[in-house]
Amino acid sequence: MSTSDDDGRPLVDGRFRLVSRLGSGGMGTVWRARDIALDRDVALKEVRPPDPAVEAANPGLTAQLRARAVREARALARLSHPHVVTVHHIVEPADGSAPWIVMELVEGSSVADRLAAGPLPVPEAITLGRQILGALRAAHAAGIQHRDVKPANVLLRAEGGAVLTDFGIAVLDEATSRLTASGDLIGSAEFIAPERVRGEEGNPASDLWSLGMLLYVATEGHHPLRRATSLATVVAVLDDPIPPPVRSGALAPVLTRLLVRDPAQRPDGAELDRLLAEAQGAPAGAPDPRATPADAAPQGFGPPTPPPTPAPGPYPYAHPVYQPPVPPPTVAAGRATAAPARRRRLTTAVAGTVLAAGLVALGFRFLPLGGEGTEGAGDRTPDAKGGTTASRTPGSTTAPTPAESSAPPAVTGSLLTPDNTRAVIAAFREATGTTTFKELYIYDAYAFAGIPTKPGAKTYDRYQYRDGKVGKQGVGGTISSSRPDDQPFDVTRLPWDDLPTLMKRADRELKVENPNLRYVIVDRWSFNEDRPTLRVYRTNEYGAVGYLAVDADGRVVHKVTAD
């Protein structure tokens, strides 16, 4: 760095005068600067060198950051798109110090700044989504993945239009392995795709998940997976159900298609653009037919009451070939986690949290359990009224007889009671012919289930229960035969009679102040040795979350509190 002859202020590369700090992040600081050679303002990114102690513990880190910064500039220089920030120049000091990246100066604020004032109108969010998608498609066509699409990295020009910036953790196809071999989780925990959390390198579909989450936050006014800590958020990204969007109008079905945990089930860039264009063509101001009057004009932030479910048609267990329509909004309940990958070291770049260390710090430990977690729970099968029939062979799935196929009992009040939970299971069984599920999510007023398409199938569909009716929501995904945590199980074998005690204990012990959401997740939980596990959750509008994890015998095997 040299100095100017006229005013003594520092110059970068003898040409760029620093004017003011614009912002900073994990990769460095961005300055407003004056290009004295061309007499124009630019944005100058100063790559932050690591702390000497960090460098001492991680030899070569400085060189890695330098290489990543140079890669950013080269990646952006390959793109020419109105919604991608333009790189003018890169300064590589001869002394080997950190480089500077010279970019266009975007006059305006970020989407994060805009959302601090409240949610976006749906038409505005759809326009924003198409602009960001255009930038991502251009990047993907050049072999570049962004990996950190989030509101803070989308700038809004003063004259209109969005600009995607901060490709500092972008990955070029030909340069991926050597710069991600450390196992670090690079990206913002709240917006990173679940497959990237699991340590998979990801593909363009991973960036599209991040875009979908950005649009969900933009229109719904809250982040569905934000928790009290970065570690808890990472776990939520992997496991927790995503509440159906109810404030997103014509955008809601698009978000439902996009926010699924199996990347193969997400629309690609071209299809997503078509879906957004169709949503954009909806009449301005037209109410969402799935929204209640209160949802049509939401005020402020926070998770609202979910919408009602459309009346279902007949769904025999031998499902017909499914031709996916644009589905109504639902929870993206597909879960695709691998136990070995879940237990590897994960690090969030924002918080620098190592997942393995975090789990130890939280005191993850598991009580010894016998068998597959279903033995000793009683070989009972619920009948259509939510009661039980004679015992049968463990693990078997039997279609209901005509006598058992009468309508499930009416349900009043919260679903989170033993009788009502069994009535929900009976209703799912009435619609599908089985109580062997891949996963089950139960809230106070509605429930979701992932159910195999037929006995022994490697595919499953999603169903929703509300107001005593079951409706098929669409394709769920695939069931991996190599993953123990992915295998279906009999949901009747969980300790539903203990639910009242567990609910009271959750209220008393989880330390979630003023909870506004109570729900139960049942699946094969990786942190319980892939055994069927019932988790009782409490969350509030400030992102605090706590849960009890209970095995098939009713024993609490783990507890996470909000403090």
Catalytic residues: 148
Encode 357-372: b = buried (16+ Cβ within 10 Å), e = exposed. ebbeebeeeeeebeeb
Burial class (CB in 10 A: 0-12, 13-18, 19+), 161: middle
Q: Which residue in the block uniquely carries the two structure tokens 């990955």? A: 171
Q: Report the distance separating Cα 243 and Cα 63, nearest Å.
A: 43
State which amino acid sits at residue 81. H
467, 512 in Cβ contact below 8 A? no
Helix (H) / strand (E) containing 33: strand 28-35
* Opening angle at CA 232, ends 342 and 351, nearest 5: 95
413 in helix, strand or coil?
coil
**Total residues found in the chain within this entry:** 563
Residue 18 backbone zone (phi > 0: left; psi -120 to 50: alpha; other: beta): beta
Q: Which residue in the block uniquely carries the two structure tokens 């255009």? A: 134
Q: Tell me the CA distances in angstroms from 124 to 76, 154, 519, one per residue in order.
A: 26, 14, 32
List alpha helices for 61-162, DSSP H: 61-77, 111-115, 122-141
- List for the chain the helix, strand, coil content (%; round to 5): 30, 20, 45
State which amino acid sits at residue 382. P
What are the start-end ranges of the E strands in 182-268?
none
What are the start-end ranges of the E strands in 181-321?
none
For residue 254, what are its two tokens? Answer: 């698009």
DSSP letters, 209-222, are HHHHHHHHHHHHSS
538 in helix, strand or coil?
strand
